[in-house]
Structure 1
């Protein structure tokens, strides 16, 4: 299907291009569904079997890479996506793959649920003894009664504006699971008609701190 879309096998008619696009979208949705099901089981802090593989982790670099990878789908919806990173964000000891998956889920959701022409900001900042990663949009917003259950397994909000969006209801469950596996949390602040901001907090303590190696020069 990728070869057909790139027209390596010859030029496609408008009708053929339409159906190839539908096939690729279906494959992408199915892949995302399988990944979410697998990760929900692996990352669950209560039942998950996935061991955290810590390394020195640059959250600003991760955020910038994720945003760069989402510019094409954002442009298709005429969305403006920006990065806002504070200078005082330290390198942490964390599982980069887990955090990248969690932040990717938040950016994916923002692109899916923000109306065409909207704005999304992805940021990293230090807040007290925590590092916060946030994804802010100016979309439809979420009702207070729905916010309380958003991060539960298999939860999807039923609204007419969201009918076009497909998903497993596991993305935000994975986000919170990843945050909790690092001793942090995830939550949302939202107002209907104005948009939402999703947060991941990582405490700057314990195993999340980068231990400076002692060398002979230090002695």
Structure 2
């Protein structure tokens, strides 16, 4: 509080305007019998551990001890643990809802409710995976590099969205060349990057629209393109779409849920592999998102 200890002892707190921030703490202590539930108090963006001691001369002596902040590694680890905890019940609920359709025939209204629940769970699971990726990136996670058949990886990653595309009434089309395009990389992380692009394309596509996933390659580079027939992106927004938490705000996107994390994760993963991302778009006609990676 920028006060000299000698000028404070024996004086009332009311004499010092800089101590007015302590009043909520004193009120909280008084209402809780001089106890804090968690023992913590945040003041001036700093967290303090609060200790209260009874003394013969005063009702209580309050000691505030500055709490050391968590480093980035600890925060990333904590976030990862929390998100992993969320993932299990979401995955379990999704599985049980899918089993409902196997039990017997559903009315049109029941089938509609099931589809809505599945779409919401798909969106929740996507956010969970994105948060896990963010935690991994923030912790400086290493790549588990192996030799990967990029065409097979794209095929496997895209096939996971067949059901989601059907529920959204979107045609999902693969255009893969014959041959082999090999890369060195982390299959799990690259699968996440591909999934983000395919999921986004389906999400922003109109009913009856088409999403085309294609691969092109030469001796030096493997290219992935995901093309949709959605609402498109205005030129002024296009340079920012790979920034974390950036979302285009418009009447068309108002009801489309998203975290603003997906494309920034794609960019970070691709660049960790020595590749580059790209985006093209024409408002009202659709968008193309993709990335290129060095071939081996």
Q: TM-score band (shorter)?
A: 0.7 to 0.9
Q: 1:28 aligns with which of 122, 147, 154?
A: 122
Give the TM-score normalised by structure 1. Answer: 0.81
Q: Higher RCO, 1 or 2 (CA under 8 Å, sep at least 6)?
A: 1
Structure 1 unmatched runs, 5+: 210-219
Q: 1:40 aligns with which of 104, 129, 134?
A: 134
Counterpart in the other structure of 2:19: none
Query: Quick one: structure 1 residues 70 and 90, their matched pair in 2 at CA, closer, same or farther if it must change by over 3 Å?
Result: same
What is the 5 A alignment of 1:1-219? 1=93, 2-3=95-96, 6=100, 19=113, 21-43=115-137, 47-87=138-178, 89-126=180-217, 129-204=220-295, 209=296
Structure 2 unmatched runs, 5+: 1-92
Which range moves more in the overlay, 1-10 or 117-126?
1-10
Query: Quick one: structure 1 residues 79 and 31, their matched pair in 2 at CA, closer, same or farther if it must change by over 3 Å?
Result: closer
Which range moves more in the overlay, 20-29 or 137-146?
20-29
Give the TM-score normalised by structure 2. Answer: 0.61
Alignment RMSD (CA, Å): 2.4
| Residue 88 of structure 1: how far off its partner (Å) | 5.2
Instruction: Mark the structure with the bigger radius of gyration.
Output: 2
Question: For the residues of structure 1 that align with 2:179 and 2:115, how far apart are their CA atoms?
Answer: 43
Question: For the residues of structure 1 that align with 2:139 and 2:255, how far apart are their CA atoms?
Answer: 31
Question: For the residues of structure 2 that align with 1:10 and 1:118, how far apart are their CA atoms?
Answer: 30
The secondary structure found in structure 2 opposite 1:180 is helix
The secondary structure found in structure 1 opposite 2:270 is helix
The secondary structure found in structure 2 opposite 1:123 is strand
Tell whether the 8 Å contact from 1:3 to 1:9 is kept in structure 2 after alignment.
no
